[in-house]
Amino acid sequence: MTMTPSTRWLRAAAAAVATLVVSSCYYDPYYSGGGGYNGGYSGGGGLNTTFVYTSSDQWLYDPAVYCYYDRYRRCYYDPYLYGYYPVGYCPRPIYGAYHPGGWNGSGYCPTPSGYRDRYLPNYQNRVDQLKASNYAWAEKVRERNDATADAWRNQRSSAASNFQFSREAQQNRNQQQRETQAERQQNLKSQQQDWADKVRSQRATPPQTQSRPAYNQPVDTGSAARQARMAAAQQQQAAQRQAQQPAQRQPQPQAQPQPSGGDNGGKWKEKMQERKAARGQ
């Protein structure tokens, strides 16, 4: 069948969507401290596989070792031996085993079934314990024992443990952001409430008016000292007018011709003395 350009484009888009859906179920512990995604699953116990997400926040699945990783305890859990490995220990990669829950390598892996809260005794002899548990496929299981696998196990365990630390740090950052945002909102709410209370208080207080003197009461136009000076000046002016009044009323003496001599001169002196005496009264 001849494929048209539009047909090829549709198939390419569908393949891209399928790749995105599958890869979103994987967690790469080596990317950004354990926060990225990777679709590098190759199966068969390859060392380039990544953790796979499950339906529970507690569990990641490691298809290279066919075990779960408990995020809360930070240690591996064996779904076939039903127990935990020590913290910091990564089981060896194995070949020939089956993934738990019928997981086929795509999508989310189911959570462990038949969970038991216990640590595995003699955990380093995993293959022997699988065979002793009467799993039919355990007769074909092999472990990878070489320097590359040992180095990979150390890195794997460290990366898985760091993921929990980075996850807790992110949770703390998110909590701090929520608390800061809540504090800002509370401060803003308090400021708005204070402003509203101030406006209501101003509206409730009546305006103050300036008091005016009564219509029939005198108005103070000057200070007491100024009024005293005015009164003293008026009294002084009155005294001056009173002193000038007798001088204005007293007639001016008329000049008399002086006699040339004889008796007339004596009479004139007598009259002058009488007038002086009269003035002195």
Q: pLDDT tens digits, residue range 101-135?
A: 999 988 899 999 999 999 999 999 999 999 999 99
In a domain, 264, yes or no: no
How would residue 155 be classed by pLDDT, with cut points 50, 70 and 90? confident
In a domain, 162, yes or no: yes
In a domain, 46, yes or no: yes
Is the predicted pLDDT of residue 241 greater than 50, yes or no?
yes
In a domain, 156, yes or no: yes
Number of domains in the chain: 1
How would residue 13 be classed by pLDDT, with cut points 50, 70 and 90? very low
In a domain, 214, yes or no: no
How would residue 68 be classed by pLDDT, with cut points 50, 70 and 90? very high
Average pLDDT over residues 1-25: 48
In a domain, 51, yes or no: yes
Cα separation, 90 vs 84, in Å, equals 11
Question: pLDDT value at position 201?
Answer: 85
In a domain, 103, yes or no: yes
- Global model pTM greater than 0.75: no
In a domain, 132, yes or no: yes
Is the predicted pLDDT of residue 45 greater than 70, yes or no?
no
Is the predicted pLDDT of residue 97 greater than 50, yes or no?
yes
Domain that holds residue 151: 11-171
